[in-house]
Structure 1
């Protein structure tokens, strides 16, 4: 294997590792990054379990208690 081929192979390996460990593509405004399993880097974009509206409603209710 030539030096150029070895460098290209290394660059490809590094790029593939970075893709696996980086934040997944996609998601929308307001989504949260959520673990999808116990494995390393198992994650995806999801809607939050509690919305800002839920928080505001709870805050308003607490004022009247």
Structure 2
């Protein structure tokens, strides 16, 4: 079986949510290693067009690398 590594970029997620996400991914995918980046909230005025999009989904990217 091919090994897969997923990189997750998350915006403003608490540690309990990260643990739930890691447990879920471990059940769904044959993944041994998770790289999780917790990104700080962008400044209110910065990225304003994207901020609404970020608010609609906390997972910014799920990439097979």
- Range into which the TM-score falls when normalised by the shorter chain: under 0.3
Instruction: Please state which structure has a larger fraction of its residues in strand.
Output: 2
> TM-score, normalised on structure 1?
0.26
Name which structure has the greater RCO, CA cutoff 8 Å, separation 6+: 2
The higher radius of gyration belongs to 1
Q: Flag the structure with higher helix content.
A: 1
Q: TM-score by structure 2 length?
A: 0.26
